[in-house]
Amino acid sequence: MLELKNICYRVSTADGEQDILKNVSAVIDDHKLVVFTGPNGGGKTTLAKVIMGLVHPTSGQILWNGQDITGLGITERAKLGISYGFQQPPRFKGITVHDLLVLAAGQDKLSKDQCCQYLTKVGLCANDYLDREVDVSLSGGEVKRIEIATILARHSDLMIFDEPEAGIDLWSFARLTETFEQIHRQHQSTMIIISHQERIIQLADEIIVVAGGEIRHRGSTEEIFPLILADTLGSCPVLTKEEHNR
């Protein structure tokens, strides 16, 4: 179980202090698929990075399976079974796709068949990619899919995907959503997926709307999804209702 308790993240900017996350609290139960959504700049990625330990909160606490991990770094959190796929994945010159998958799987070696299984889940063919370096020669969508494959290879207890749909073609995206569905159905991991995508939002047990550095609303897909859809026709009722109540 993941517990976020009163997470605040404040940065100093040229315009003074800015609160990026404001007192965010949430509990995410094991094996749930939770989607973080909300407007650009709302704080979703920052919150994901706080969970992974890439960003340290100014105040608040993060508990993972009852253990306080607030002071732990990325490597320690990875060892405890948390993984995060960047919105914009980094590239690694000199490292091949095969090397990355082996590293992610935490094994001495990985057969071509095993690599193929992970790459197929993101719509890539092992024959074409295993020996390629994860450098600038790969397209944005290819790098994104390779990173998602490395997260799948890790088999973490908590997988966080930051806009997995970004830059991915429709066919690979369909394959990917099937993979998320399968992981969820088999109760393999808890998943937090940051997404603006209808297809992914519909897979969720719960949707958390993050806006203005706060959790503005949280509920089932049935409760929240119609409100998000309504947002495409005008202002978002979820957001405006909360704004109105202030």
Ligand X SMILES: Nc1ncnc2c1ncn2[C@@H]1O[C@H](COP(=O)(O)OP(=O)(O)OP(=O)(O)O)[C@@H](O)[C@H]1O
Q: Which residues of this protein are in contact with Mg ion, per CB under 5 A?
A: 45, 87
- Tell whether residue 197 is a contact of ligand X (CB under 6 A): no
Distance of CA 246 to the CA centre of its chain: 30
DSSP 146-191: HHHHHHHHHT-SEEEEESTTTT--HHHHHHHHHHHHHHHHTT--EE
- Residue with Cβ nearer ligand X (24 or 105): 24
20 binds ligand X (CB under 6 A): yes
Q: Give per-residue burial for 109-118: e unless 16+ CB within 10 Å, then b.
A: ebeeebbbeb
Nearest approach, Cβ of residue 199 and ligand X (Å): 17
Does 195 contact ligand X by CB under 6 A?
no
Binding ligand X (rule: CB under 6 A), the pick from 2, 4, 46, 153 is: 46
DSSP state of 232: T
Interaction residues for ligand X, span 68-87 (CB under 6 A): 87
Structure tokens at 220: 């089932």
* Angstrom distance (rounded) from CA 214 to CA 8: 9
Residue 47 near residue 21 (C-beta atoms within 8 A): yes
- Please state, in angstroms and rounded to a whole number, the distance separating the CA atoms of residues 181 and 204: 9
What is the nearest approach in angstroms of ligand X to the Cβ of residue 40?
3
Stretch touching ligand X by CB under 6 A, among 12-20, 148-156, 224-232, 234-242? 12-20
Binder of residue 172, out of Mg ion, ligand X, none (CB less than 5 to 8 A by kind):
none
If the CB atoms of residues 89 and 130 are measured against Mg ion, the closer one turns out to be 89
Q: Which CB sits closer to ligand X, 130 or 193?
A: 193
Report if residue 144 touches ligand X, rule: CB under 6 A: no
Nearer to ligand X, 87 or 114 (CB): 87
Least distance in Å: CB of 92 to ligand X?
A: 22
**Distance between CA 209 and CA 238 in Å, rounded?**
8
Q: Give me the residues that bind ligand X (CB under 6 A), please.
A: 11, 13, 18, 20, 40-46, 87
